[in-house]
Each structure stands twice: as structure tokens, then as C-alpha cells.
């Protein structure tokens, strides 16, 4: 959830460098085995990517090669920006609206989906089989 929060708060795409800056503040280091998650670099760049929680891709035209993270399809399916923001608010002893711009973005996603659901519910179906 922390990684998804960093990605969200960095504009829905976070460089590998920014991810490691965040993790290092939590005393999680690449190459240093963590007592819970094992080797963090492998977990993040391989395991969570393979499980589709994260996307890990090279930044186009970067030389030397730089990489970035995005939410993967499984993260989109299993959580939302609002849930991630609620988690961040809880660990910071505040409310989601305290993160104003991110709150607006998370709320916007919730509104779009509820309007879409409303439209589907009241749209007649004219599909013939």
C-alpha cells in the first residue's frame, strides 16, 4: 500500500529513484535482506510485477537507462486511490481531505465510476443476439 501511495502522490508514476528514497527512509534498502519481505529489490522489480501489482518500465529515451513504476492492473482491480489515501491519512493521524489535491483526484475517480454505473443502470440495452 505504501508503494502505491508513493506512485499516486508522484503523479501516478514514480521513478525507481523516488521509490528507493522513500523506502530508504523506512530503512528498507536494495540488496539488504529485510526480515519480512526478503530482498526488497527482487520483491519490487520482479515479484510484485509478476503478480501484476506494479508495472516496471524503462523511461523512454533515458540514457543511462532509468526506470519507473506505475500501478499494475491487479492494484487497480483490488484497491482505489481513495483507499490508498485513506491508508496514508490513517498512518499520518489525519483525514484524506488533508491531502487536498490527491483527495480531489481520488474523489474524481470515485465520482466518474459512480456516474458510469448510474448511466449503465439506466441505459436500455438494444443488443440483439
- pLDDT tens readout for residues 50-72: 999 999 999 999 999 999 999 99
**Assessment of whether the complete model's pTM goes beyond 0.85:** no
* pLDDT number for residue 5: 92
Residues 87, 73 within the same domain = no
Domain count, the chain: 2
Residues 68, 102 within the same domain = no
111's grid cell: 465520482
Regions of the chain short of the pLDDT cut 70: 109-129
Q: Rounded to 5, what percent of the chain is helix, strand, coil?
A: 55, 10, 35
Residue 129 lies in a domain: no
Residues 22, 66 within the same domain = yes
CATH number for the domain harbouring residue 53: 1.10.10.1210
Residue 8 lies in a domain: yes
Closest to 51 in 3D by CA, of 40, 43, 62: 43
Residue 65 lies in a domain: yes
Residues 93, 36 within the same domain = no
Residues 23, 67 within the same domain = yes
Which domain covers residue 87, as residue numbers? Answer: 80-124
Largest Cα–Cα separation, the chain: 59
Residue 70 lies in a domain: yes
Which stretches of 26-124 are DSSP H helices?
A: 40-42, 48-50, 73-78, 81-91, 100-121
Amino acid at each position: 500500500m505504501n508503494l502505491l501511495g508513493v506512485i499516486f502522490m508522484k503523479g501516478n508514476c514514480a521513478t525507481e529513484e523516488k521509490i528507493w528514497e522513500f523506502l530508504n527512509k523506512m530503512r528498507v534498502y536494495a540488496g539488504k535482506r529485510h526480515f519480512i519481505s526478503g530482498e526488497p529489490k527482487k520483491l519490487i522489480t520482479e515479484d510484485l510485477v509478476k503478480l501484476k501489482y506494479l508495472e516496471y518500465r524503462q523511461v523512454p529515451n533515458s540514457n543511462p537507462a532509468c526506470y519507473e513504476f506505475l500501478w499494475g492492473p491487479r492494484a487497480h482491480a483490488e484497491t482505489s486511490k481513495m483507499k490508498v489515501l485513506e491508508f496514508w491519512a490513517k498512518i499520518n493521524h489525519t483525514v484524506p481531505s488533508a491531502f487536498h489535491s490527491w483527495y480531489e483526484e481520488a474523489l474524481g475517480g470515485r465520482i466518474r465510476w459512480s456516474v458510469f454505473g448510474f448511466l449503465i443502470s439506466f441505459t436500455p440495452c438494444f443488443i440483439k443476439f
